Every structure is written in C-alpha cells, then in structure tokens.
Amino acid sequence: MNNAIHPTVPASPALAEFTLLESWLASGHAAQLPLHAVESEQHMRGREVQRLLLQAHLDLRGHGDAGPALSAAGPDGRTQRYTHRRLSTRTITTIFGPVNIERLGYSHPGAPSIYPLDQILALPARSFSYELQRRLVMLAVLNPFQESAATIATLTGVPKRSLEAVVRDAAQDFDAFYQQQQRVSEPGSGPILVAAIDCKGIPMVKQKTNAPASPRLTKGQKANRKRMATVAVVFTRQPWVRTPEQVIESLFRSRTKEESALLPAPPRPENKRVWASLTKGKAAVTDEVAAEMQRRMERSGMRWTESMAEAVVKLRAVYLSGDFDQYWLFHIRQEQSRLHATPWTVVPK
C-alpha cells in the first residue's frame, strides 16, 4: 500500500476566483435574486476571472531577458552598449481590467531604455491595450461623441480627456494608410470611376482671447462658429446591368425586403480611396480627388477642437468606408515602428 503524501498543487488565482463565482451562483443568497441581479454579478466576477487568466499568461511570458547586454545605434550613429539591467513594472488597462507586466529594461546614460518584452508583446505607447483602444474608438465614431464619452466613462472608467487622446492618436495614420493602398496594384478594376465630395459644418470650441466679451453679436456673427469638414471618396466599380422593370421598381421600392434579398446584389466599390479633413479645406481636398481621378484615368452635437474634429472625421470616414479593421492593424504596425525605430542586437558574452 502506497502511503506517500503528494503535495497539494496550489490553485491559481483565476481558478480560486472561478470557484468562488461557482459557489456564489449555487448559494442560497443568489437563489433569492432576480435574473438581472445574478447576471450583473456574474458579469463582474467573470470579468475578474478573465483578468486573472490574462495576468497569469503574462507572468508566464517572462521578463524579456534578452541577454547580459544589448547593442544599438545612438542618435549620432555610433553603436552604444546598454549594459545596465533593471526590472520595472508597467500597468496596462485591458478589456478585462488592469494587468501588471514586469519587464527587464536595458539602459545607457543619456539614451532611452530598451525593453525587449514591450516589443515582443507589441505594447502600445499609452496605458490602454490596443484591443481596448479599438473598442473605444469604435464607440466614439459610431455615435455622437459626447454621448459616447459618457457611455465609455460609465462602462470602462476611461475619462473623456483620455478618450480624446486615444482618438487623436488613432487617426494619425489615416493619410499613410490610404497612400500605401495606392501603391498596391489594382487588379480587376471596374470600368466605372466614381468620385463624391460632401461637406459638413462642425461647431468649434471658441478660442480664448484677451479681448473683452462683446455684449451682443454684431451683424453677420454667429453664436457658434463652424468649420466645414470635407469628406470625399474615389472608387471603381463594375457596371450594374438591370432591366427597365428593375430600375423602375428600385425607384418605387414595390418589393418586400424578402423579395429584394433574392435579387443579385449591386457591385461593390473597388480600390477605394477616402479623404476626410477639417483643416485642409474643400478646395485642397477637391484638388487631391482630381489628382487621384487623373492618376486612375491615366492608368485606367458638441463643440470641437480642431484636432479632435479632424481625428473623428477621419476615423468615421475609415469606418463608413469599411476599412476600419484593416486600418487598425496598419495603425498598430505604424505605432510599433515609431516606438521601436532603433533596432537592437544582443551582445554576446
């Protein structure tokens, strides 16, 4: 008979939290609550289980120890050795809550420290994870911004000022995203080239001046000064061949939704190029649209600051053009290239 005593494996924090949740759901107290109260409590505790699981995963990833020292080029182009090693903790707020990442930093006098684990994990510049930022931006561009900011603050605790900073950062790669799409070949472009331009007035925050306030508005003045945001698109598409009867029915919409769903869908836009700007002005955007047309024909509620309005206009244009997911991955790559612009190598022993 084997009487050996096996040591008990300690339960992980996530498993312990899950066990508590499971016990609470089976308790007499929970049995007296209405469904919505049980649902709310389970959501809160379940989110903590997921946060602890993510924390455990990050702990398993290690500290990013790349070796005894690193070598990288300094601002003057000379190779520098980063020999001083030091552990530090960085907190990232994720969709499940805050997690702590302990990473090893390599430093050199007068130069920013290098954290290999930051690059391995592709950590963002801000303290919000990219997935949380993506969701914040989506909420901000889908609804009136003021309402979105209030909803986000309630659901996530992210204040309006932080949300504005995230939105501004997210929009900075707008032009580069569509410019790099121009360099991609355009196979199978449709023979129809389409361009559209529209403008929308956006109320702006009044700039502070030292001049005394006027007792009343003069002739021609408006209480809320507006700036015109210009949105434009250029794309190609295949011809949509229809019978005269189909054209007439599309004008009067005599079919039901079920009958319309059985009809062939219209051709989707191809090779879209989108513009959106508050600062460029309609004339400048129109010139860019004309240049894009020529290039293709040759081949074939609240008050806004200027920077915030520019960012929201661009991100809404990206979303409405169906490019948001692709743009977000591009934005992450661009920010990572900015954060880790200087390559480094491990110094052998």
> At 276, is the secondary structure helix, strand, or coil?
strand
Q: Tell me which of 122, 152, 169 is where a domain ends.
A: 122
Give me the mean pLDDT over the 19-38 stretch: 94
Total domains, the chain: 2
**What range does the domain containing 84 cover?**
62-122
Q: Are residues 20 and 39 in the same domain?
A: yes
pLDDT at 75 over 70: yes
Q: Is residue 109 part of a domain?
A: yes
Q: Tell me which of 99, 122, 145 is where a domain ends.
A: 122
Q: Which helix (H) or strand (E) holds 58?
A: helix 35-60
> At 127, is the secondary structure helix, strand, or coil?
coil
Phi first, then psi: give them for residue 89, nearest 5 degrees.
Answer: -110, 135
Dist. CA 276–CA 174, nearest whole Å: 9
Q: Is residue 44 part of a domain?
A: yes
pLDDT tier at 300, thresholds 50, 70, 90: very low
* Burial classification of residue 113, based on how many CB atoms lie within 10 Å of its CB (0-12 exposed, 13-18 middle, 19 or more buried): middle
Model confidence over 217-258: pLDDT tens digits?
A: 545 445 556 677 777 777 777 777 777 777 777 776 666 777
The tokens of 232 are what?
């434009």
Q: Are residues 68 and 50 in the same domain?
A: no
Q: Are residues 54 and 98 in the same domain?
A: no
Q: How far, CA to CA in Å, does 345 sit from each of 42, 119, 166, 174, 291? A: 47, 13, 32, 32, 44
Q: Is residue 116 part of a domain?
A: yes
Q: Higher-confidence residue: 30 or 8?
A: 30
The tokens of 315 are what?
């991100």
Dist. CA 239–CA 236, nearest whole Å: 10
Q: How far, CA to CA in Å, does 321 sit from each of 127, 189, 271, 274? A: 29, 17, 11, 7
Q: Are residues 46 and 67 in the same domain?
A: no
Give me the mean pLDDT over the 295-316 stretch: 67
Q: Is residue 258 part of a domain?
A: no
Q: Are residues 44 and 76 in the same domain?
A: no
Residues 6+ apart with CB under 8 A from 301: 144, 145, 146, 147
pLDDT at 48 over 80: yes
Q: Is residue 310 part of a domain?
A: no
The tokens of 101 are what?
């990442």
Give me the mean pLDDT over the 119-148 stretch: 89
Q: Is residue 330 part of a domain?
A: no
Q: Is residue 26 part of a domain?
A: yes
Model confidence over 151-161: pLDDT tens digits?
A: 888 878 888 88
Comparing CA positions, the residue from 118, 97, 115, 98 lying closest to residue 106 is 115
Q: Are residues 101 and 74 in the same domain?
A: yes
Q: Tell me which of 72, 98, 122 is where a domain ends.
A: 122
Q: Are residues 68 and 36 in the same domain?
A: no
Residues 6+ apart with CB under 8 A from 231: 197, 198, 199, 200, 274, 275, 276, 313, 317
Comparing CA positions, the residue from 48, 50, 25, 45 lying closest to residue 35 is 25
pLDDT at 333 over 70: yes
Quick one: the chain helix, strand, coil %, rounded to 5? Answer: 45, 20, 35
- Contact assessment for residue 202 and residue 309, using Cβ atoms and an 8 Å cutoff: yes
Query: What whole-number percentage of the chain has pLDDT above 90?
Result: 38
Q: Are residues 26 and 68 in the same domain?
A: no
pLDDT at 210 over 60: no
Paired with 234 in beta bridges are 195, 273
200 CB-side CA count, 13 A: 13
Q: Is residue 302 part of a domain?
A: no
Q: Are residues 21 and 46 in the same domain?
A: yes
Comparing CA positions, the residue from 242, 97, 274 lying closest to residue 174 is 274
Q: Are residues 67 and 104 in the same domain?
A: yes
